[in-house]
Amino acid sequence: MGGTFRLVVLMAFFSVTFFPGTIWVRRTSLTWLPADVVLLTFDDGPNAGARTTGRLLDVLERQRVTAAFCLVGRAVEQAPGMVRRMRDSGHLLVNHTYSHRLERQARAMEQEICRCDEAIGRAFGNPGYRSRWFRPPGGWLTGAVETCTAARGLQILPVTYFAFDTLYSGRGSRRLVETHVRIAKKDRGGIFVVHDGAVRVRPRNRACDVLEGKNRAWIPEAIEEMIRCLRGEGIRFGAPEEVLLGPKP
């Protein structure tokens, strides 16, 4: 990586770690999250390229793990069958906007959220579908996001650790596994995010292109290895309804 790229990564890391207004929270602040429990969450899918999300669903079924999938509406339209499979397998469907766009104005942000719900609803024939959970693109809790989620009664899906896996290629899969095992042991669990989909953000209008399979085809195998290693350390995987929908203090 060049010096400029390193600087960008460092700035992103410090901004999401130390400044308010993001979904990143310290594990110790989630007093309602059971000890030694991990919730897996997957962003930016579904991804039909190289059967990435399909193979990931195979892994989760084989390992008997349920997860949360943060869905981009444009990607849902390309792979509605995968969304039906997620729902039928008991995974939590989370609104992640229609085009991975973080709008400044509340009205435009509302449209992004509504269009994503419409796409999810069309995937399984429920035109009135409304999500209960939302994760904003990039994890940023802007004023527009807070206004819209409050108006729609949406709950924000947080994350306690983000490994910047979108910067990895398949050669970094071992590093991804080892890092998550280390963090889970240190923090006694947490809410982790990995990206089964990939989006390209255009600088001018911040609209995304769904990149089918780009640098993501290795994710299913890495997740299966992560699950095995974490279980070997005494960590278990909580179902979303157990981890998120229980009583909060």
**Domain membership flag for residue 10:** no
**Domain membership flag for residue 109:** yes
What is the structure's pLDDT at 17? 47
Q: Are 49 and 217 in contact (CB under 8 A)?
A: yes
27, exposed or middle or buried, with CB in 10 Å at 0-12, 13-18, 19+?
A: middle
**Domain membership flag for residue 3:** no
**Domain membership flag for residue 145:** yes
For the entire predicted model, the pTM comes to 0.88
**Domain membership flag for residue 15:** no
Between 172 and 82, the higher pLDDT residue: 82
What is the structure's pLDDT at 249? 41
Residue 96 annotated among the catalytic residues of the structure: no
Total of domains in the chain:
1
Q: Determine the longest span between alpha carbons in the chain, in angstroms.
A: 49
**Domain membership flag for residue 118:** yes
Q: How many CA atoms lie within 13 A of 118 on its CB side?
A: 9
Choice among 91, 195, 196, 209 that is catalytic? 195
pLDDT digits 0-9 by tens, 12-37: 554 444 444 899 999 999 988 999 99
Q: Are 201 and 208 in contact (CB under 8 A)?
A: yes
pLDDT digits 0-9 by tens, 108-167: 999 999 999 999 999 999 999 999 999 999 999 999 999 999 999 999 999 999 988 888
Write out the residue range of the structural domain in which residue 160 sits: 30-243
Choice among 36, 43, 44, 209 that is catalytic? 43
**Domain membership flag for residue 49:** yes
Pairing of strands 189-195, 199-201: unpaired
Residues contacting 174, CB < 8 A, separation 6+: none
**Domain membership flag for residue 114:** yes
CATH number for the domain that contains residue 219: 3.20.20.370
Q: What is the DSSP letter of 22?
A: B
